[in-house]
A and B are shown apart, each in its own frame.
Chain A
Amino acid sequence: MPTRRVVIVGGGTAGWMTAAALAKLLPGRCDVHLVESEAIGIVGVGEATLPHIRAFNERLGIDESDFMAATRATFKLGIEFVDWGRVGDSYIHPFGTFGPGGGEVDFHQFWLRLRQQGIAVPDLDRFSMACTMARMNRFALPSRDSRRLDSTFGYAYQFDATLYAPYLRRIAEGMGARRTEGRIVTVHRDGETGDVTSVQLESGEKVEGDLFVDCSGFVSLLLDKTLNVPFQDWSKWLLNDRATAMPCRTEGQVTPYTGVIAMPYGWRWRIPLQHRTGNGYVYSSQFLSDEDAAQALIGAVEGERIAEPRVLRFKAGRREKSWVKNCVGVGLASGFLEPLESTSIYLIQAAITALLELFPEKKVSAIDRDEFNRLIDLEYDRIRDFLILHYHATERADTPYWDYVRTMDIPDSLAEKMDLFRRRGRVVKYREGVFLDASWVAVYLGQRVIPQGHDLRADAPSAESLIAGMQKLVREIQGLSSGMEEHSAYLRRYCPMKEAA
């Protein structure tokens, strides 16, 4: 089998995830060579993740507790959104279902029906294992028996991304991937085809390859700087173009969920790790200066600062194509969506999965490339709509920032989805894609998009039987959750981090 020389441009999370996956899963098909420079900092995006990452780690044969100890990780059952619909509101977007799952009529339809009948029913998140566990600060691994209620949640991790890359590097190098240290100064291309043939380092060394993976982050060395692939700008819907990040000591709970707190000109994250809490303020520079953002963040965090605020700049959108000629963009080099729903590492993973499935021969076929681009565009476009929903579905009018997003024109694809939900709580169904029904329901209802009607099939059972069923469900969820270990205690037992050297 002919091997292909794959050159990965840039280390960091995207680079080492790609290197480890290719080296581990396509041995014999490719020689992996990663070029990175320690002089260039890594963004280290996405300390909070989505459940999909577990499948990625599993494919690489990674032991969960070892990985969690090494990256000082905590468990994540969802995201708590604070102050989004109105100041004072709070809801959790859980990884998991509302109600027992399954069944032909979605659980929230029965819930809507009773509410519309004027019957007092508990908040929807009381019917979610993940929300309940999160609020009670408990954790246990989900059951594998799909008939059980404690199988109805998923989980992800909150971890130190700057430790994940080195962890993957050990795996990749163990599988034969090579690493070269150095800053790239020139990209050489074939005069006829325009394909990239090699990258040249400051030292003069040339690294040649057949396929190049652009993991150079915002710099987008190959896709943007070399191939000039146009960027689709989404900043008219997703205004934020700055983040200021600052870790602090943990004073509050080590919560099994990420905090996302709306701010006057954006939002703030709270990501508890084992040894510290990550914080950041994502905002729009049109409305807020970097200094004021840093001050606002310092004023908001719970514990002593561990570092000074550090500013990141970005723009929401994606490259019109993520794979052009023999260059594939993975991660920030191909696009950026703010970490509101922790999608950064997911998008890296989606690109890697597609690359593995569409891995080219010596000569890149347009068929593979087009399919890759179709899949990646779909991922970006669906997440885009989901993110815009968070801004648009608000009653906040306390700053010009919120006035703008509340009243802005939104993409038709989202406007139709929202209309449909407002009618009778219907969620446009996809069988594939990152955010499924329960996610949309959580955000709609959590941000006061309230349906006028409901699915008429939910009228079939009697109100009494529904109420009794719901009471039982809440009791069971409550009982199962309170029987679980406290989150920090679980971490101490399962995956305690090694003391920093």
Chain B
Amino acid sequence: MIAPGTGERMRDVLVVGGGLLGWSAAAALRRKIPALRITVLPLPPPVDALAERLSSTLPSIVEFHRDIGMSDGDALLRANCGFRLGTEFQHWDGPLRSYVHAYDRYGQAFGTASFHIHWVRQAQAGSTPPFDHYSPAAAMARAGRFVLPEADPAHPLAHFEYGLALDAQAYPQMMRAYALHLGAVERPGGFKGVRIDGESGFIAAVALDDGNEVKADLFVDCTGPRALLRGQLDRAFEDWSRWLPCDRLLFADAAPVADPSPLDRAIAHGAGWRWVAQSRSRTSHGFAYASSELSDDKAARTLRGHAIADPLAPIALRQGRRPQPWLRNCVALGDAATMIEPLEWTNLHLAHSAIDRLVAMMPDRDCAPVELWDYNRQCAAESDRVRDFLALHYAASNRDEPFWRRMRDVAPPESLAHTMRLFAERGRLPFYEDETFARDSWLAVLLGQGIIPRRTDPLIDSVPLAQSEQAMAALRDGIARMVPTLPTQAEFLTHLQRQAAR
């Protein structure tokens, strides 16, 4: 039995969960800390584990792959991955309006002020094309085109990042093969329960349905919202439903299209929002809604109408997070730690980020509280800011339905209120540690949803209005000229495959 306080090295880690998350954790741990023995109990992921199910991912997945030594190109092509550049938000700021959140630099700073201040000043002076017209990646995405970022920082396409569109079958298989290749061991079996040491409260072993048990120093819980292991230690939960009101999810898969768009869509609806995300293997439709506003039947009919496919059974979603994802010798990852709706596709991102943190902070076998404290503190800071970013979409909407009007009346979390207050006043974005979304992402959503600062930064005074307009027009023209010359995603993928075949 583990004796806390002994300071002995961590040796045996049991990862419970056999989806892409469990295998990703196993691969990262083996790769970064070769002294660890990693065993995976490959329980099939439950349907409500969103980090496992959503095919759209944020750019951080590319970094994650690089970090664990998985080269981007070849493996990903074989795993049938595609690219994505961002999300188009339709009708959030009232009907007929749309904006694109791309992972890009919007505009280019000149003079002493950042670009968005120039944009705001033009908007106040009269009119200027929407903010997303100044992002090359947003324009490329709207046109269904894709290339990888350019290396030369002077090139307009040098500053964007891209996410991946995963294949729900091929990707976890590839990650499993990679983890096994790195030396992780698979221990097939069904989960029966956990045995907790009475004295320390640590998990001593996981009992399997074949009568055996698996002991370990550390247990990594990748079993989805039910958190089969971590849930045994405590049930504390911080509820976010005040700010993130959707408590139901519907999924419907339709056939893939020949040339999938690198831009997915999030379309606001009277009682929530729905998405369309095209990947190489399917077109994913989904619907997030508040059950108090809309019955499951009506929601299913709505989604069926758009997807031309039958939705699966609705999934109940309780948004929020565990205050301590890591307690004693058990750490919860993914949906076992944080449950959040798919808006902005943060589920897998948060899980990857937690894996990085777990690797970087691996304690001794005694899992000293001070080390776990730092881990939990960072997880909390990060996921609270992600919550803020998502809640912003609701808090700043301009729709008329009672659901949306109510959402506007809810007081946002203080950290989001702080951001919105400062931004609405003078276009300033306060700095937060552990921020997932870059400043330009915040700007894309704030300005996209129609929050226009009341005044501008005095530092812009030194650049005359006409000079701003001239520079901005040049940026727009450059983007408009460039986009039609770029390949579509299908063309680009064909090009990559040819390169790989060579």
Chain A residues near B (Cβ < 8 Å): 1, 25-29, 104, 356-359, 361, 365, 367-368, 371, 374, 416, 419-420, 423-424, 426, 428, 430-432, 452-453, 455-457, 459-460
Q: Does B74 sit within 8 A of A, measured CB to CB?
A: no
Q: List 19 A-B contacts (CB under 8 A).
A: A25-B112, A26-B458, A356-B459, A358-B426, A358-B428, A367-B426, A371-B430, A420-B371, A423-B363, A423-B370, A423-B371, A431-B431, A455-B362, A456-B10, A456-B33, A456-B362, A457-B362, A460-B33, A460-B34
Are the CB atoms of A1 and B370 closer together than 8 Å?
Answer: no
Contact of B373 among A368, A416, A430 (CB under 8 A): A416
Are the CB atoms of B7 and A452 closer together than 8 Å?
Answer: yes
List 3 A-B pairs, minimum CB-CB distance, nearest first.
A419-B370, A29-B458, A367-B425
Which residues in window 427-443 of B have CB below 8 A to A? Answer: 428, 430-431, 433
> Provided the pairs A26-B459, A367-B422 are in contact, do residues A459 and B34 lie with their beta carbons within 8 angstroms?
yes
- Complex: how many Å from CA A1 to CA B460? 12
Q: Does B78 sit within 8 A of A, measured CB to CB?
A: no
CB-defined contacts of B35 to chain A, threshold 8 Å: 456, 459
Are the CB atoms of B428 and A28 closer together than 8 Å?
Answer: no
> Provided the pairs A420-B370, A423-B363 are in contact, do residues A28 and B425 lie with their beta carbons within 8 angstroms?
no
Closest-by-CB residue of A relative to B378 is A429
Quote the shortest CB–CB distance from B12 to chain A (angstroms).
Answer: 14
Closest-by-CB residue of B relative to A1 is B461
Quote the shortest CB–CB distance from A133 to chain B (angstroms).
Answer: 31
**What string of 1s and 0s marks CB contacts (under 8 Å) between B351-375 and chain A?**
0000000011111100010110110
Closest-by-CB residue of A relative to B374 is A420
Task: Name A's interface SS.
Answer: loop
CB-defined contacts of A365 to chain B, threshold 8 Å: 425
Are the CB atoms of A357 and B457 closer together than 8 Å?
Answer: yes
Are the CB atoms of B374 and A371 closer together than 8 Å?
Answer: no
- Complex: how many Å from CA A423 to CA B431? 29
Closest-by-CB residue of A relative to B361 is A426
- Complex: how many Å from CA A306 to CA B112? 45
Q: With A25-B459, A431-B431 given, can you name 9 additional A-B contacts, CB distance below 8 Å?
A: A26-B459, A357-B428, A416-B374, A419-B370, A426-B361, A453-B7, A456-B32, A457-B359, A460-B32
A-B contact count (CB 8 A): 79
- Complex: how many Å from CA A337 to CA B455? 35
Closest-by-CB residue of A relative to B424 is A367
Are the CB atoms of B370 and A455 closer together than 8 Å?
Answer: no
Quote the shortest CB–CB distance from B65 to chain A (angstroms).
Answer: 14
Q: Does B462 sit within 8 A of A, measured CB to CB?
A: yes
CB-defined contacts of B431 to chain A, threshold 8 Å: 431-432
- Complex: how many Å from CA A418 to CA B33? 25
CB-defined contacts of A26 to chain B, threshold 8 Å: 458-459, 461
CB-defined contacts of A456 to chain B, threshold 8 Å: 9-10, 32-33, 35-36, 362
Chain B residues near A (Cβ < 8 Å): 7, 9-10, 32-36, 67, 112, 359-364, 368, 370-371, 373-374, 421-422, 425-426, 428, 430-431, 433, 455, 457-459, 461-462
Closest-by-CB residue of A relative to B423 is A367
- Complex: how many Å from CA A361 to CA B67? 48
Closest-by-CB residue of B relative to A30 is B458
Quote the shortest CB–CB distance from B454 to chain A (angstroms).
Answer: 9
Are the CB atoms of B67 and A104 closer together than 8 Å?
Answer: yes
Quote the shortest CB–CB distance from B439 to chain A (angstroms).
Answer: 13
- Complex: how many Å from CA A28 to CA B460? 11
- Complex: how many Å from CA A430 to CA B431? 11
Contact of B425 among A29, A368, A426 (CB under 8 A): A368
Are the CB atoms of A371 and B422 closer together than 8 Å?
Answer: yes
Quote the shortest CB–CB distance from A109 to chain B (angstroms).
Answer: 10
CB-defined contacts of B430 to chain A, threshold 8 Å: 371, 374
- Complex: how many Å from CA A207 to CA B294? 65
- Complex: how many Å from CA A89 to CA B221? 47
Are the CB atoms of B360 and A431 closer together than 8 Å?
Answer: no
- Complex: how many Å from CA A11 to CA B455? 31
- Complex: how many Å from CA A460 to CA B69? 14
Closest-by-CB residue of B relative to A431 is B433
CB-defined contacts of B370 to chain A, threshold 8 Å: 416, 419-420, 423
CB-defined contacts of A430 to chain B, threshold 8 Å: 433
Closest-by-CB residue of A relative to B368 is A423
CB-defined contacts of A420 to chain B, threshold 8 Å: 370-371, 374
Closest-by-CB residue of A relative to B10 is A456
- Complex: how many Å from CA A125 to CA B167? 50
CB-defined contacts of B67 to chain A, threshold 8 Å: 104
> Provided the pairs A1-B461, A459-B34 are in contact, do residues A371 and B428 lie with their beta carbons within 8 angstroms?
yes
Residue among B363, B370, B457, B461 with max Cβ neighbours from chain A (10 Å): B370
- Complex: how many Å from CA A120 to CA B420? 54
Are the CB atoms of B373 and A457 closer together than 8 Å?
Answer: no
- Complex: how many Å from CA A428 to CA B434? 12
Are the CB atoms of A455 and B360 closer together than 8 Å?
Answer: yes
CB-defined contacts of B455 to chain A, threshold 8 Å: 361
Quote the shortest CB–CB distance from B459 to chain A (angstroms).
Answer: 7
- Complex: how many Å from CA A365 to CA B422? 11
Quote the shortest CB–CB distance from A418 to chain B (angstroms).
Answer: 9
CB-defined contacts of A1 to chain B, threshold 8 Å: 461
Closest-by-CB residue of B relative to A371 is B422
- Complex: how many Å from CA A340 to CA B9? 38
> Provided the pairs A456-B33, A460-B34 are in contact, do residues A359 and B362 lie with their beta carbons within 8 angstroms?
no
- Complex: how many Å from CA A28 to CA B112? 15
CB-defined contacts of B360 to chain A, threshold 8 Å: 104, 455, 457
- Complex: how many Å from CA A419 to CA B369? 10
CB-defined contacts of A368 to chain B, threshold 8 Å: 425-426
Quote the shortest CB–CB distance from B34 to chain A (angstroms).
Answer: 6
Are the CB atoms of B458 and A426 closer together than 8 Å?
Answer: no
Are the CB atoms of A367 and B421 closer together than 8 Å?
Answer: yes
- Complex: how many Å from CA A430 to CA B378? 11
CB-defined contacts of A104 to chain B, threshold 8 Å: 67, 360
Residue among B10, B112, B360 with max Cβ neighbours from chain A (10 Å): B360
CB-defined contacts of A374 to chain B, threshold 8 Å: 430
- Complex: how many Å from CA A452 to CA B373? 18
CB-defined contacts of B374 to chain A, threshold 8 Å: 416, 420, 426, 428
Quote the shortest CB–CB distance from A146 to chain B (angstroms).
Answer: 13
CB-defined contacts of A356 to chain B, threshold 8 Å: 458-459
